[in-house]
């Protein structure tokens, strides 16, 4: 019977059977303005195998795509590379419907599935490096602990030379195109960077090791098939190389100015800080009012930055709420190797700037200029101190970038 959703063959024997989420705009704190996909893959070998599942509300879409190729009850093995709910949310229902001989997950994956679902039948733990024959092809499991959950692993399918990389090298991008080479490169770059900055950044040291490990294994890889976004079948090292570069967190000459404003005084200060940054040698300055930018966009811009300058008015004796929100989020992402400074306006109590200084210290951002805290509306002299602050930050940023080059 015709199905509402079809599978998409990615090789003669492997099919994409995932789901497209056109409408999602928020993914645990991360703005997903281009939607996302939850990718699952069907391997039509002697042992029919499903690699990952999808978020619970998308179960019917995945099952429809599977049915367009095979009777789901023919699935013998389900591989669960990652237990987060966007990939295993419908696993218990799928196991119930399909009754596979086994569900394979890492040791931590087995524990995580138990902790989430309290009883999924047939879950078996596999070892790092273990290989399971599916018939003509073999599945080899590669643990990638804390990239980005303790359970995370990837599966390499020999015979087809596909790396099913779960969240690895993925991006939140909904599209009818299934392959990266069918999509504009600038959009791919932006979404890959945003995903790295918002999900992987705190684990950059482990990313460096994992990328080196993959290179050492020297697996022949014709395709990288992640669990979000498009599949790489040309230039498969593109995303791997970018991850390796981002994980290094090299100092750069780009500055990010983040602020919010009540009566446009902190806004006026931000504009002049940006002028000072340019004067001091910044190659580019991204000015991000938090009324217009989401915290996850700030995280993305910081990925390739060398400086963070933060401004906040004082509201009710503390930070403006959007600024506190953004800093809380950035602290968790643990961006290293930044210089920065703080500024803000106030009426009768200038506590916000002192709090910003505390935040920068907590975040490990080296303060390289005295803070600027101005009352009510900044005058010419006040704006000159903002320009000076910007210049000092840029000079320190450039010095770091130069020192790193030598």
Question: Binding residues for ligand FEO, per CB under 6 A?
Answer: 82, 84, 86-87, 148-149, 167, 227-228
Active site residue 52: no
Lookup: tokens for 358: 């505390």
Q: State in angstroms the smallest separation of the CB of 50 from ligand FEO.
A: 16
**Which is closer to ligand FEO, CB of 148 or CB of 391?**
148
**Which is closer to ligand FEO, CB of 25 or CB of 362?**
25
The residue from 61, 167, 267, 355 that is catalytic is 167
Which is it for the CA torsion 175, 179, 182, 187, positive or negative?
Answer: positive
**Which is closer to ligand FEO, CB of 21 or CB of 167?**
167
Active site residue 227: no
Angle formed at CA 6 by CA 162 and CA 189, multiple of 5 degrees = 50
In terms of phi and psi (left: phi > 0; alpha: psi -120 to 50; beta: otherwise), the region of 28 is left
The residue from 38, 41, 195, 196 that is catalytic is 195
Q: State in angstroms the smallest separation of the CB of 22 from ligand FEO.
A: 17
Lookup: tokens for 54: 């999808």
Q: State in angstroms the smallest separation of the CB of 44 from ligand FEO.
A: 25
Active site residue 148: yes
Q: State in angstroms the smallest separation of the CB of 148 from ligand FEO.
A: 6
**Which is closer to ligand FEO, CB of 154 or CB of 277?**
154
**Which is closer to ligand FEO, CB of 58 or CB of 149?**
149
Rounded CA gap, 148 and 316, in Å? 38
Instruction: Return the residue matching tokens 């990652």.
Output: 82
The residue from 15, 172, 228, 294 that is catalytic is 228
Active site residue 28: yes
In the chain, what is the greatest distance between 2 CA atoms, to the nearest angstrom?
77
Per the DSSP assignment, residues forming a β-bridge with 21 are: 36
Concatenating the DSSP letter of every residue in 3-33 gives: -SS--EESSSSEEE--EEESS--EETTEE-T
**Which is closer to ligand FEO, CB of 144 or CB of 392?**
144
Please identify the residue of the shown chain whose CB is closest to the bound ligand FEO. 84
Buried (b) or exposed (e) across 335-351, using 16+ Cβ within 10 A?
bebbbbbbbbbbeeebb
Q: State in angstroms the smallest separation of the CB of 52 from ligand FEO.
A: 9
The residue from 52, 86, 151, 395 that is catalytic is 86
Q: State in angstroms the smallest separation of the CB of 130 from ligand FEO.
A: 22
Active site residue 167: yes
Residue 248, Cβ density class (10 Å: 0-12 exposed, 13-18 middle, ≥19 buried): exposed
Residue positions annotated with a catalytic role: 28, 82, 84, 86, 148, 167, 195, 228
């Amino acid at each position: 019977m015709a199905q509402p959703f079809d599978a998409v063959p990615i090789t003669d024997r492997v099919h994409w059977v995932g789901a497209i989420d056109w409408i999602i705009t928020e993914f645990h704190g991360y703005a997903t303005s281009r939607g996302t996909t939850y990718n699952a893959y069907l391997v039509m070998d002697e042992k029919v195998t499903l690699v990952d599942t999808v978020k619970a509300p998308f179960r019917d879409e995945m099952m429809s795509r599977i049915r367009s190729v095979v009777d789901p009850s023919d699935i013998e093995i389900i591989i669960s590379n990652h237990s987060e709910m966007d990939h295993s949310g419908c696993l218990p229902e799928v196991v119930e419907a399909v009754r596979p001989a086994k569900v394979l997950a890492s040791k931590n994956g087995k524990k995580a599935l138990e902790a989430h679902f309290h009883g999924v039948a047939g879950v078996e733990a596999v070892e790092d490096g273990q290989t399971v024959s599916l018939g003509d092809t073999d599945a080899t499991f590669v643990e990638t602990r804390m990239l980005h959950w303790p359970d995370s692993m990837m599966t390499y399918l020999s015979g087809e030379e596909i790396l099913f990389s779960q969240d690895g090298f993925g991006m939140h991008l909904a599209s009818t195109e299934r392959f990266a080479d069918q999509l504009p490169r600038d959009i791919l770059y932006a979404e890959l960077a945003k995903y790295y900055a918002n999900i992987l950044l705190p684990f950059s040291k482990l990313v460096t090791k994992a990328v080196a490990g993959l290179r050492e294994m020297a697996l022949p890889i014709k395709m990288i098939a992640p669990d979000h976004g498009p599949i790489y079948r040309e230039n498969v090292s593109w995303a791997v190389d970018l991850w390796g570069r981002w994980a290094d967190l090299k100092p750069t000459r780009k500055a990010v100015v983040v602020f919010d404003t009540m009566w446009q005084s902190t806004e006026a200060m931000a504009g002049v800080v940006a002028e000072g940054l340019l004067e001091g040698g910044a190659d580019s300055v991204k000015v991000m009012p938090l009324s217009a930018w989401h915290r996850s966009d700030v995280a993305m811009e910081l990925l390739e930055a060398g400086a963070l300058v933060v401004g906040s008015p004082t509201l009710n004796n503390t930070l403006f709420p959007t600024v506190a929100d953004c800093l809380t989020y950035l602290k968790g992402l643990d961006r290293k190797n930044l210089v920065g400074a703080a500024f803000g306006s106030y009426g009768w109590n200038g506590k916000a700037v002192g709090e910003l200084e505390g935040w920068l210290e907590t975040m490990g951002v080296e303060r390289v200029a005295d803070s600027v805290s101005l009352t009510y509306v900044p005058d010419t002299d006040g704006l000159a101190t903002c320009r000076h602050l910007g210049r000092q930050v840029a000079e320190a940023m450039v010095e770091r970038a130069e020192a790193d080059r030598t």
